[in-house]
Amino acid sequence: MTRPSASPSRVPTPEQILRAPKVLLHDHLDGGLRPATVAELAAEQGYANLPVPADDPEALGRWFREAADSGSLERYLETFAHTCAVMQTRDALARVAREAVLDLAADGVVYAEIRYAPEQHLEGGLTLEQVVEAVNDGFREGERRAAAEGRRIRVGALLTAMRHAARSLEIAELANRYRDRGVVGFDIAGAEAGHPPTRHLDAFEYLKRENNHFTIHAGEAFGLPSIWQALQWCGADRLGHGVRIIDDIEVDPKAPEGARLGRLAAYVRDRRVPLEMCPTSNLQTGAAESYERHPIGLLRGLGFRVTVNTDNRLMSGTSMSREFEELARAFDYTLDDLQWFTVNAMKSAFIPFNERLAMINDVIKPRYAELRSEWLFAGESR
Ligand SMILES: [Zn+2]
């Protein structure tokens, strides 16, 4: 499936992975704060409920990762209670958004869609519109500062509605109102079990009538019915995670190339439905056992439209570079594979087709070609 290349195929170094252009479609704003920022905002706002003294950001960062690792849903959810608690003012939202862009740019990300649920940032008296505008301002400022440092990045927002709440139509309308002003699509998130996406059909039908785009968290913990509903009832453009599609694929360990796809898996592959996979996050929630056994290896081999994502950089202590490093190590991926994931992600983004194409042809491919050619000049010190 890899295209022929004249260069020797080898596992890229961490330094090459860092410099490689990357595209991120699934990243939560309230899951990507810097630990020091959580601590500073808490101190500024007099928020006293942090589990670790606010003057020790390193311990705080560790606490977030451990809570997410603990296997306890309660502790996992507690992490978001703290980050959301300090993101209730205009300035805090703009700062967190700006820093997210700068952190992604420093990690070599050239295009990102960052999602958040406006309804979770109203406790300080902001309106839904004010939340969106504060985050947009932060994103634009982050883009400007990154460009000034020589790192060009473009960021779009996805507005998320919570599956257990009843505001999805309102949030979908909000996403539509801001679609030419920084918001590129819509998402629903939250616990899958007991909250099927079909409860939010009015929101999805509205967005379809408006020719707008959306993705749905589906097939992470919950199985095939959730993926089926997201696609065939709701009409999702992409699937958040979608790892459980593996349940519809029969593999003979002796002949993995002869995998048999059920109707749903075949539909997902045939229609090129993008899967927003988040390997490290899946290990923490138990959706996968190890990087080596993560379904992404098989799905990539079978040619599904797989993309690689971070989900929650703070809780998972991760970055796009780290996700790529882990996968390169687990599956011997080369720069060709990393380019394939990156082009897949760019093709699946919610910005206009001509802009996606220009990102692929004018930014992503030339930079991977540059990285691939480095072996020719191995004598030069870099
Ligand atoms: Zn997610």
**Predicted confidence (pLDDT) at residue 289 exceeds the cutoff of 50:** yes
Is 241 annotated to bind a ligand? Reply is no
Query: Which DSSP category does 230 fall into?
Result: I
Residue 71's pLDDT is what? 79
**Predicted confidence (pLDDT) at residue 2 exceeds the cutoff of 70:** no
| Rounded-to-integer distance, Cα 41 and Cα 51, Å | 14
Is 82 annotated to bind a ligand? Reply is no
Residue 7's pLDDT is what? 61
Tell me the pairing of strands 249-250 and 238-241. unpaired
Residue 182 binned pLDDT confidence (cut-offs 50, 70, 90): very high
- ∠240-309-343 over CA atoms, to 5°? 100
CA of 185 to the centre of ligand 1 (A): 14
| Rounded-to-integer distance, Cα 116 and Cα 355, Å | 24
What percentage of the chain has pLDDT greater than the value 70? 96
Catalytic status, residue 220: yes
What are the residues facing 162 on neighbouring strands?
Answer: 189
Quote the pTM value: 0.95
In the chain, the amino acid numbered 305 is R
Least confident piece of the model among 2-6, 130-134, 253-257, 316-320: 2-6
Q: What is the mean pLDDT of residues 56-65?
A: 93
Q: What is the dihedral of CA 62, 80, 316, 51, to 10 degrees?
A: 10
Catalytic residue among 99, 119, 220, 323: 220
Residue 45's pLDDT is what? 95
Q: Which position has the higher pLDDT, 307 or 256? A: 307
- ∠143-188-152 over CA atoms, to 5°? 15
148's tokens: 């000034």
Residue 8's pLDDT is what? 63
158's tokens: 């996805």
How many CA atoms within 13 Å lie on the side-chain side of 337? 22
CA of 162 to the centre of ligand 1 (A): 11
The domains of the chain, with CATH numbers, are 14-33+87-374 (3.20.20.140)
**Predicted confidence (pLDDT) at residue 375 exceeds the cutoff of 70:** yes
Q: What is the mean pLDDT of the chain?
A: 93
Residue 75 binned pLDDT confidence (cut-offs 50, 70, 90): confident
Residue 6's pLDDT is what? 59
| Rounded-to-integer distance, Cα 282 and Cα 242, Å | 11
Residue located via tokens 């079909």:
198
Q: What is the mean pLDDT of residues 63-85?
A: 90
Q: Which position has the higher pLDDT, 75 or 333? A: 333
Is 26 annotated to bind a ligand? Reply is yes
Residue 219's pLDDT is what? 82
121's tokens: 């940032």
42-53 residue pLDDT tens = 999 999 999 888
